[in-house]
Amino acid sequence: MARNSFLSGVYAAAVTPLNPDLSPDLDGLGNLLHFLSGRGCHGALVMGTTGEGPSFSIKERMVIYEHAVKVRQSFPEFHLLAGTGTPSLGDTVFLTKSAFDLGFDAVVVLPPYYYRKATEDGLFNWFSQVIQQAVPSDGALLGYHIPPVSGVNLSLDLLWRLKEAFPNQFTGIKDSSADPHWARLLGERFGQNLVVLNGNDKLLSLSLQSHGSGCITAMANVLSPIHRLVWDQFNSGNLNEADQEKLSHAREVLDRHQPMPPLLKVLLSQLHGFPTWKVKPPLLDIDSAQVEIIISEFLAAVE
């Protein structure tokens, strides 16, 4: 049952710390993962959208994967998920297999987003190849449903086919559609037989009420104690809507000041004392004139 899956819980879609020369700040990554492990997160996704994964080379991703696993040795109960999806089947297979070989608990795989009009049969074949070539029999793959960014929809029928064909390895999805109707449909179609980790903070409670298993969100970098409160309260049958409202209001602030990676890096620096990490092109650092406005709006949202 998905609700009881070892992947259930609150995950941060971790930012990727970068040095001024845009190389990975591995010490910063270690500090961030330690920070998240102490603030209610069950785990973290590295090299996802918030982690700017598609902006990194295969070599850079491998360095980051390797260091994350090394850091996790200090808190082994903390789950690590790797973003491994690329438009290339071969690169995706390589990264996925490498992540499992290193000891990641699961992978989160974008669809091949270059060919946005690929058919359902084509997507089924692509994911099947990834699973057959790279996912061990006890491995867990989550499809990454983020059509506003990828331009590729993972239909309910496609998810059903993948679950039927690979009942153990195709574990579920990260749902970043930001669509409440879709969140309900997932629950109606799959019940608790598919792990659904929602990617939009405003929909955490709704997703849980629709048999979702938790969340993987950018905002958990800075607000994971509130995400954990909502998750714990729901599972104890005492959900406090005021906590969900804080998440919703805070998410509305961040949505006004997109994109997420530079926003989260500024918030981590200003609110939690981390360095002001750079972002990879084509993203730009937050204009210094906007920082005070963003911090003020964000703090007001979570009061």
pLDDT in tens, 116-128: 999 999 999 999 9
pLDDT of amino acid 2: 42
Could you tell me the residue ranges of all domains in the chain? Answer: 2-237
Active-site residue, from 97, 174, 246, 265: 174
174 belongs to the catalytic site: yes
**DSSP-assigned beta bridge partners for residue 214:** 9, 197
pTM of the model: 0.96
Please give the CATH superfamily to which domain 2-237 belongs.
Aldolase class I (3.20.20.70)
**Residue 3 pLDDT grade (very low, low, confident, very high; cuts 50, 70, 90):** very low
Q: Which of 144, 171, 217, 265 is the catalytic position?
A: 144
Over residues 233-262, the pLDDT tens digits come to 999 998 889 999 999 999 999 999 999 999
The one catalytic residue among 49, 50, 171, 217: 49
Residues 6+ apart with CB under 8 A from 29: 14, 16, 17, 46, 64, 67, 68, 71
92 catalytic? Reply is: no
Phi, psi (deg, nearest 5) at residue 21: -85, 10
Establish whether 144 is a catalytic residue. Answer: yes
Mean pLDDT of 97-125: 97
Count of all residues that appear for the chain in the document: 303
**Whether 278 is catalytic:** no
Could you read off the pLDDT of 8-60 as tens digits, one per residue?
A: 999 999 999 999 999 999 999 999 999 999 999 999 999 999 999 999 999 99
Mapping DSSP onto H, E and C, the string for the chain reads CHHHCCCCEEEEECCCCECCCCCECHHHHHHHHHHHHCCCCCEEEECCCCCCHHHCCHHHHHHHHHHHHHHHCCCCCCEEEEECCCCCHHHHHHHHHHHHHHCCCEEEECCCCCCCCCCHHHHHHHHHHHHHHHCCCCCCEEEEECHHHHCCCCCHHHHHHHHHHCCCCEEEEEECCCCHHHHHHHHHHHCCCCEEEECCHHHHHHHHHCCCCEEEECCHHHHHHHHHHHHHHHHHCCCCHHHHHHHHHHHHHHHHCCCHHHHHHHHHHHHHCCCCCCCCCCCCCCCHHHHHHHHHHHHHHCC
Contact 83, 69 (CB under 8 A): no
